[in-house]
Structure 1
Amino acid sequence: MSMTVQDVMTTDVASVHEDASFHVVAELLIDRGVSGVPVVDDDDRVQGVVSEADLLAKEEFKERYYGDDYRPPLRARLRHAFGGEGSGFYKAKGETAGQLMSAPAHVITPDASVVQAARLMDSRGVKRLPVVDADGRLVGIVSRLDLIRVFVRDDEEIRSQVMESVADTAVWSPPDAVTVRVSDGVVILSGVVTRHTEAIAVARMAANVDGVVAVRDKLAWKHDDVVDIPVWGGA
Structure 2
Amino acid sequence: MRHRTVADLMAPTAISVQRGTPFKEIARLLDEFDITAVPVVDEAEHPVGVVSEADLLHKRVAGRGSPTAAEIMTSPAITAAPEWSVVRAARVMGRHSVKRLPVVDAAGRLIGVLSRRDLVQLFLRRDQSIREEIVEDVLVRTLQLSPSALSVEVTDGVVTLSGTVGRRMVIPVVVRLCHSVDGVVDVINRLGYERDDMPVGSPTATER
Structure 2 match to 1:66: none
Cα RMSD between the aligned structures? 2.1
The percentage of counterpart residues that share the same residue type is 43
Contact 2:172 2:204 in 1 (8 A): no
In 2: Cα distance, 1:175 partner to 1:38 partner: 47
Contact 2:13 2:112 in 1 (8 A): yes
**115, 138, 141: which one aligns with 1:168:** 141
Contact 1:108 1:117 in 2 (8 A): yes
Structure 1 match to 2:23: 22
In 2: Cα distance, 1:96 partner to 1:135 partner: 26
In 2: Cα distance, 1:97 partner to 1:194 partner: 62
1:53 aligns with 2:26: no
Structure 2 match to 1:110: 82
Give the letter for the 1:184 counterpart. D
The range that moved more, 225-234 or 48-57, is 225-234
Q: Determine which structure has more spread, i.e. the larger CA radius of gyration.
A: 1
Contact 1:94 1:100 in 2 (8 A): no
Q: CA deviation at 1:99?
A: 2.5
Q: How does 1:66-85 map to 2 (within 5 A)?
A: none
In 2: Cα distance, 1:54 partner to 1:5 partner: 25
In 2: Cα distance, 1:112 partner to 1:170 partner: 25
Give the letter for the 2:104 counterpart. V
In 2: Cα distance, 1:182 partner to 1:218 partner: 13
Q: What secondary structure sits across from 1:201 in the alignment? A: helix
1:184 aligns with 2:156: yes
Q: Write the deviation string for residues 140-192 of structure 1: whole angstroms up to 9, x where unpaired.
A: 11111111111111000000000121113433x44422221111111111111
Q: What secondary structure sits across from 2:148 in the alignment? A: coil
Q: Which runs of 5+ in 2 are unaligned?
A: none
In 1: Cα distance, 2:188 partner to 2:59 partner: 53
Structure 2 match to 1:65: none
1:11 aligns with 2:12: yes
Give the letter for the 1:168 counterpart. R
In 2: Cα distance, 1:94 partner to 1:106 partner: 25
Q: Which runs of 5+ in 1 are unaligned?
A: 63-87
In 2: Cα distance, 1:58 partner to 1:205 partner: 47
**101, 113, 116: which one aligns with 1:141:** 113
Q: Name the CA shift for 1:230/1:31 in 2 (closer, same or farther; >3 Å).
A: closer
Q: CA deviation at 1:230?
A: 4.6
Q: CA deviation at 1:126?
A: 1.1
1:194 aligns with 2:127: no
Give the letter for the 2:169 counterpart. T
**178, 188, 199: which one aligns with 1:216:** 188
Give the letter for the 1:219 counterpart. L
In 2: Cα distance, 1:193 partner to 1:153 partner: 28
Q: What secondary structure sits across from 1:108 in the alignment? A: coil
In 1: Cα distance, 2:130 partner to 2:188 partner: 14
